[in-house]
Amino acid sequence: MYAVRLWSVRHAKGLNRFYQAFEKVVVALHPLWNKIGYEKLEAPFQVLERATKGFLFDCQMCGQCALSSTGMSCPMNCPKTLRNGPCGGVRPNGNCEVKPEMKCVWVQGWAGAERMDGNLEKIKDVQIQVNNAIKGKSAWLRVVRMTKKVGEFAPKPPKAPPAKKPVAAAPAPAGEGKAA
């Protein structure tokens, strides 16, 4: 909800503090999540995240939450989904170029960042393009896996020296490039 979203930016400092503590707890519970299995937890976590972050931030479930670097203003609510700062079309009153009735997500973002930390360090992080393959997935579980270096973040084993005999009957990778 728009009004709640604006409230969240006004309370960015408190929310960020709460999230930092929450993240520590969720990461510490990794052995438990691992026992249950990350696959099984995905659906209930998605419901939970959608409900809480949806209520507070109008979260769009991009699956790669950047709220701590965007002053608690969700960048996916920007009609251009800009993740690094405002475009050049912001109106003189600080409202959005595309939706004139809405405050610019990034004018809000910078205001939230000022409340979070005076140095504005986190907001200077360059965000890369969205990974569309993980849209809708749980960003919290992803953070745990990232911190614990498991799942998709597990360190890749060093490349084995090329086998002398080519592995027989290795199936050709399906799809890519083959069908013309």
Partner 1 sequence: MSELHFDPAAPLPSLPGHSSGGRLERILRSGRFAVTAELNPPDSADPRDVYDRALVLSEVCDAINATDASGANCHMSSVGICSLLTRAGYSVIMQISCRDRNRIAIQGDVLGAAAMGVQNILCLTGDGVQAGDQPEAKPVFDFDSTSLLNCIRGMRDDGKFLSGRKITVPPRVFLGGAANPFVPPYEHRATHIGKKIAAGAQFIQTQYCYDVPMLRTFMDKVRAQGLHEKAFFLIGVGPLPSSKTARWMRSNVPGVHIPDAVIERMEKSKNEKAEGKQLAIDLIQEIKEIEGVHGLHVMAYRQEEFVNDIIHASGVMKNRQPKRAPRPAEPVSVLA
Please report, as ranges, the residues that interact with partner 1 according to CB under 8 A.
Answer: 79-94, 97-98, 104, 106-107, 110-111, 120, 123-124, 126-130
Q: Which one, 60 or 127, has the nearer CB to partner 1? A: 127
Q: Which one, 67 or 104, has the nearer CB to partner 1? A: 104
Classify residue 143 as exposed, middle or buried by CB count within 10 Å of its CB (0-12, 13-18, 19+).
middle
Q: Which one, 93 or 163, has the nearer CB to partner 1? A: 93
Shortest distance in whole angstroms from residue 22 CB to partner 1? 27
Shortest distance in whole angstroms from residue 9 CB to partner 1? 13
Shortest distance in whole angstroms from residue 155 CB to partner 1? 16
Number of other residues whose CB lies within 10 A of the CB of residue 126: 8
Shortest distance in whole angstroms from residue 41 CB to partner 1? 29
Asked whether the beta carbons of 128 and 64 are under 8 A apart, the reply is no
Q: Which two tokens stand for residue 107?
A: 């004018």
Asked whether the beta carbons of 136 and 68 are under 8 A apart, the reply is no
Q: Which one, 41 or 104, has the nearer CB to partner 1? A: 104
Long-range contacts of 77-80 (CB under 8 A, 24+ apart): 77/5, 77/105, 78/104, 78/105, 78/106
